[in-house]
Structure 1
Amino acid sequence: MTIVSPAQQFLPSTPADIDEIFRLYRLAAAYQAATPRATVVWPDFERGLVEQELAEGRQWKLMVGDAIACMWAYTFDDPQIWGARNADPAIYIHRIATNPDFRGQGFVAAIVQWAKEYAKQQHKQYVRLDTIGENLGLIAHYTACGFTYLGLSALTDTVGLPAHYHDATVSLFELPVAG
């Protein structure tokens, strides 16, 4: 879809990527566990969740050469996290995981640019994301990428959400697509 540089490109993930997706999730969870300020460590995600996202074309990857440098999922509907704001036309980004071999290369900012372009194509007004708890490092990182920090929100209905959302408070972030 969008070319970042001749060696970098955004592509939809495929079922052939599923083992690498779960490897990156495990590495991200290990990184979270080793980070003293981390407010959450990702659980083992349900394979069926990722298989559904793959089937619906909602899992994406940023390729650098032949390697998946970063991957994420998106949805256009996130009512359990966003409540009444879910009525706004938005794209919601979830589970950004960067390959440790590619950390520190600004891929979250690249994903944000991809999401803004994709949202425009889909006639959405916002790019949104969340993180569990009040993770000051991620708050600073996401606001540096252009997001407005909307504050903390306690989740009340987490049935069907991944385990790390249960009994959680989330930090919410929003970026207008126009402009």
Structure 2
Amino acid sequence: MKIQKSIARDIPEIFRLYGLATDFQKLTFPENTWPTFERELVEREIQEERQFKMIIDDQIACVWAVTFSDTQIWEERDKDPSIYIHRIATNPDFRGRQFVNEIVKWARGFAKSHQKKFIRLDTCGNNQKLIKHYTHCGFDFLGIVRLKNADELPSHYQDTDVCLFEIKLYRV
């Protein structure tokens, strides 16, 4: 297994995995599923070296993106030096291999190399299975919030509850 920055020629596979993840969400938690994301979003993340992939046996097994700011979701807490993980999508051929644990290991080094003190992620809706999964992977569950302003966020954030998670890397 290796983790690399995604490149432009990965875009079709990234969108295939997003589609498969959305199909899986419809089966497991239909109350809140991903919308179709804009190609420009992924292109920008790749150009800014914020889109990543996990490779196993020369196949993309998992993808995710990171940001360094997430004001509309994290509000005042966004002032904390953090990385935010978004859109983890796993290739179904590799499902069940605990990739979030591997992403957390990677994110610890990535965050420290960028002088960040927190690794954060969120999920929409009160999805108890995901809450349990993310806490099992080392995240502290900070609770469920209703966003005050989600106008610049994708549609799945509109008028829904959001679960917040973080890993504190060292005392702040």
Residue in structure 1 matched with residue 14 of structure 2 by the alignment: 21
After the TM superposition, which parts of structure 1 deviate over 6 Å for at least 4 consecutive aligned residues? none
User: CA separation in 2, counterparts of 1:77 and 1:162?
Assistant: 15
Residue in structure 2 matched with residue 174 of structure 1 by the alignment: 166
Contact 1:154 1:168 (8 Å CA) reproduced: yes
Amino acid at match of 1:133: G
Mapping for residues 64-103 of structure 1, pairs under 5 Å:
64-103=56-95
User: CA separation in 2, counterparts of 1:66 and 1:58?
Assistant: 21
CA root-mean-square deviation = 1.1
Amino acid at match of 2:121: L
Consecutive unaligned residues of structure 2, counting only runs of 5 or more, are none
Q: Look up the SS of the partner of 2:63 in the other structure.
A: strand
**Aligned length, in residue pairs:** 171
Q: Look up the SS of the partner of 1:174 in the other structure.
A: strand
Mapping for residues 3-152 of structure 1, pairs under 5 Å:
8-35=1-28, 37-152=29-144
TM-score for both structures, normalised by structure 2: 0.96
For 1:162, which of 151, 154, 159 is the aligned residue?
154
TM-score for both structures, normalised by structure 1: 0.93
For 1:153, which of 121, 145, 150 is the aligned residue?
145
Alpha-carbon deviation of 1:163? 1.0
Alpha-carbon deviation of 1:159? 2.0
Against the structure 1 CA distance between its residues 38 and 135, is the aligned structure 2 distance closer, same or farther, given a 3 Å change threshold?
A: farther
Range that drifts further, 37-46 or 135-144 = 37-46
Identical aligned pairs, as a percentage? 53
Alpha-carbon deviation of 1:38? 4.4
User: CA separation in 1, counterparts of 2:148 and 2:136?
Assistant: 29
Q: Look up the SS of the partner of 1:57 in the other structure.
A: coil
Range that drifts further, 58-67 or 152-161 = 152-161
Against the structure 1 CA distance between its residues 142 and 38, is the aligned structure 2 distance closer, same or farther, given a 3 Å change threshold?
A: farther
Consecutive unaligned residues of structure 1, counting only runs of 5 or more, are 1-7
